[in-house]
């Protein structure tokens, strides 16, 4: 292949003009606190669609533990792509705490989670991330690791003006009222038309911090330590300045639509009550359908019909457009898009996830082979895990029941999706994780490769040595034991009264 170099005629006047312009711009930027944004056309009316993720906590993809789990960066990316395809100018921001799920990682966990953080960063780049705030969960492996990912960060207490389609979008990152005020003042001074603040703290803290602060049009909160619960659904507090919290771990996406149709400060168009009511109704119907789908013992045909109905509803919900009202003003609308499982996923981000999946298993296995340690021996008098085989000798009848339950297949299900070498997955899918006699390295799970008797009844070595009805840690495991694994996030339909009978039967629980 030959490279053709095009020769441009020497247009001296043009290069001079450009040089002069550049010089002027450079001098200006040297004087200004931040580089000024390149020239924009002030009268642009191109509408903007702004998307924000928050509290992602390293969640690339939901675990797939239950049907219909929300989330996945690929689904978020597909929403951005859809808006771009509709001819909108799209801006993507992240409010922080995206990279890790928790602090205090063990060396093996660090291998897995750093690789995952890299994949999150890659996915964000593929989505065209324009700016982000950072939170404590971004710095779990140190600030140097975070900055090595090369994401466009807005330092705490400051702001940045993004030039998009002829508009100036101000992005502020703050953890306090002071930072919020200073960041807002900065981007306003730099001529921002619209200002989004990414606030590290709770909704309540953000509302407090807003008092006395001028110049912010919308606040998105993130980085609240206790945020990941079943109830942390997205919330919007409507006030003079609306404050939004996005459901954590990538389960929802925030979307703002900005309409430039006038001048001056933007009005929050919350007036489209009908759209909001419609969204709420659809959310309820989606929740009902998902619950119905999760009920056991349905025919494949019935499941298919329900799934199709769900997919249609979810699609409509995602496309619900907030109808802009009165024109002649600058205005914006806010809505959340719950990232339901039936929504499409973006191929570019899917590829990032696939590469991560393939890579992380290799890394984990190699680490285990090079540095893995077996679990420590039990302390004197402490019980160790033995694995199912030890129980079967004396409790054969119980196994007739047990073998028919999902618990017996739990590790095979991981192998089936090629995630058996993932620390974050084996945690709930093997016997005695990080416990004496249990599993402490991903390459040694023999005899512990299931959710076994001891996951519910406790470690059995003392009982096996002295078998009676007093020596097991738990004769009748309670609901709390189940909830250790059946969390609201990965077992959203867990109902003790429904689930318990499915693990018992004649031979396991004499009363039945
Ligand atoms: C050497 C035989 C033996 C082994 C091995 C053994 N058990 Fe037992 N287990 C017994 C006997 C005997 C009892 C007391 C009589 C009864 O309740 O069946 C018992 C009682 C229990 C009970 C209490 C039942 C109650 O009365 O409420 C549980 C739970 C239990 N075993 C679980 C296990 C588990 C889990 C293992 C494997 C780690 C295990 N056992 C291994 C013999 C054994
Ligand atoms: C906190 C505990 C926990 C963790 C961590 C966990 N799982 Fe699960 N997993 C569960 C529970 C509980 C179920 C059963 C949920 C239900 O049926 O309500 C399950 C079920 C599954 C199933 C079976 C789904 C089916 O259709 O039968 C798969 C596959 C699975 N998990 C994969 C994974 C993968 C992959 C990971 C890691 C990314 C993972 N799990 C991490 C607890 C966990
Ligand atoms: C150590 C983690 C753990 C504990 C503790 C646990 N489970 Fe599970 N459970 C799982 C996993 C993982 C699965 C998914 C197994 C699979 O299909 O891969 C599961 C699946 C199930 C299923 C099958 C769901 C279905 O679709 O049919 C039932 C029922 C269930 N668990 C009930 C319980 C009950 C009741 C308790 C408490 C008494 C309990 N589990 C405790 C991890 C656990
Ligand atoms: C998902 C949790 C769970 C698992 C796994 C489990 N059990 Fe149980 N088991 C229970 C519960 C709950 C009860 C108490 C039922 C009651 O009486 O309310 C029980 C009761 C028992 C009892 C006393 C009742 C009886 O049938 O004599 C024995 C013995 C027992 N389990 C042994 C086992 C053995 C052996 C295994 C492994 C094959 C096992 N269990 C696996 C939850 C579990």
488 CA to centre of ligand 2 in angstroms: 12
Residue 242 in contact with ligand 4 by CB distance below 6 A: no
Nearest CA to ligand 4 atom 26: 509
224 CA to centre of ligand 3 in angstroms: 30
Residue 422 in contact with ligand 2 by CB distance below 6 A: yes
Quote the CA–CA distance of 172 and 178 in Å, as a whole number: 12
Contact (CB, 8 A) for 95 and 363: no
Ligand 1-lining residues (CB < 6 angstroms) = 386, 390-391, 393-395, 453-454, 457, 460, 463-464, 467-469, 472, 475
490 CA to centre of ligand 2 in angstroms: 6
Which of 465, 487, 484, 463 minimizes the C-alpha distance to 475?
A: 463
Quote the CA–CA distance of 276 and 274 in Å, as a whole number: 5
Query: How many Cα atoms are found within 13 Å in the side-chain-facing hemisphere of 233?
Result: 7
Neighbours of 383 (CB within 10 A): 22
Residue 426 in contact with ligand 3 by CB distance below 6 A: no
Residue 453 in contact with ligand 4 by CB distance below 6 A: yes
Pocket perturbation via mutation, ligand 1, pick of 463, 478, 481, 504 by most ligand atoms within 8 A of CB: 463
- Which sign does the torsion angle of CA 442, 443, 444, 449 carry? positive
Residue 35 in contact with ligand 4 by CB distance below 6 A: no
Please give the chain's pLDDT, 512 residues, in tens. 333 333 333 333 334 344 444 444 433 333 333 333 343 445 678 889 999 999 999 999 999 999 889 999 999 999 999 999 999 999 999 999 999 999 999 999 999 999 999 999 999 999 999 999 999 999 999 999 999 999 999 999 999 999 999 999 999 999 999 999 999 999 999 999 999 999 999 999 999 999 989 999 999 999 776 555 555 788 899 888 999 999 999 999 999 999 888 778 888 887 556 667 777 778 888 888 888 888 777 888 888 888 888 888 888 887 776 555 556 788 898 999 999 999 999 999 999 999 999 999 999 999 999 999 999 999 999 999 999 999 999 999 999 999 999 999 999 999 999 999 999 999 999 999 999 999 999 999 999 999 999 999 999 999 999 999 999 999 999 999 999 999 988 898 899 999 999 999 999 985 64
């Amino acid at each position: 292949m030959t490279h053709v170099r095009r020769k441009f005629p020497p247009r001296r006047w043009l290069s001079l003009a450009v040089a002069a312009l550049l010089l002027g711009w450079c001098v200006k930027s040297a004087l200004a606190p931040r580089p000024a944004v390149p020239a924009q056309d002030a009268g642009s009316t191109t509408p903007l669609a702004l998307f924000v993720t928050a509290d992602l906590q390293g969640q690339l993809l939901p675990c797939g533990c239950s049907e219909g789990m929300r989330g996945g960066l690929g689904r978020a990316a597909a929403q951005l792509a859809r808006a771009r395809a509709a001819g909108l100018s799209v801006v993507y921001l992240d409010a922080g705490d995206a990279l890790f799920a928790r602090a205090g990682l063990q060396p093996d966990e660090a291998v897995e989670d750093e690789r995952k953080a890299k994949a999150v960063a890659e996915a964000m780049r593929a989505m065209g991330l324009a700016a982000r705030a950072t939170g404590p969960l971004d710095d779990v492996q140190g600030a140097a690791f975070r900055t090595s990912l090369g994401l466009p960060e807005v330092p705490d207490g400051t702001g940045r003006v993004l030039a998009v389609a002829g508009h100036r979008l101000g992005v502020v990152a703050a953890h306090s009222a002071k930072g919020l005020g200073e960041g807002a003042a900065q981007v306003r001074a730099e001529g921002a038309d619209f200002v989004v603040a990414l606030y590290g703290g709770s909704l309540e803290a953000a509302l407090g911090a807003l008092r006395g602060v001028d110049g912010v049009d919308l606040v998105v909160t993130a980085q609240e330590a206790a945020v990941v619960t079943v109830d942390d659904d997205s919330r919007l507090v409507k006030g003079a300045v609306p404050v939004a919290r996005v459901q954590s771990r990538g389960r929802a996406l925030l979307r703002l639509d900005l309409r430039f149709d006038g001048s001056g400060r933007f009005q929050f168009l919350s007036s489209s009550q009908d759209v909001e009511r419609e969204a709420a109704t659809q959310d309820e119907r989606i929740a009902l359908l998902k619950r119905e789908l999760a009920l056991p013992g349905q025919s494949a045909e019935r499941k298919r019909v329900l799934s199709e109905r769900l997919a249609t509803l979810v699609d409509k919900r995602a496309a619900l457009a907030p109808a802009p009202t009165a024109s002649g003003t600058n205005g914006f609308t806010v809505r959340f898009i719950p990232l339901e499982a039936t929504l499409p996923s973006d191929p570019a981000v899917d590829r990032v996830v696939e590469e991560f999946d393939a890579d992380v298993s290799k890394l984990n296995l190699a680490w285990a082979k090079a540095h893995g340690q077996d679990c420590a021996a039990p302390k004197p008098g402490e019980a160790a895990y033995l694995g199912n085989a030890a129980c079967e000798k004396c409790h054969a009848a119980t196994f007739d029941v047990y073998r028919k339950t999902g618990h017996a297949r739990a590790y095979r299900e991981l192998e089936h999706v090629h995630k058996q070498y993932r620390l974050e997955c084996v945690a709930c899918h093997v016997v005695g994780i990080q416990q004496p006699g249990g599993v402490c390295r991903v390459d040694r799970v023999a005899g512990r490769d299931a959710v076994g008797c001891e996951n519910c009844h406790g470690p059995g070595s003392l009982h096996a040595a002295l078998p009676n009805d007093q020596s097991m840690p738990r004769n009748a495991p309670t609901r709390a034991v189940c909830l250790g694994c059946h969390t609201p996030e990965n077992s959203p339909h867990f109902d003790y009264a429904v689930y318990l009978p499915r693990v018992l039967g004649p031979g396991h629980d004499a009363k039945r």
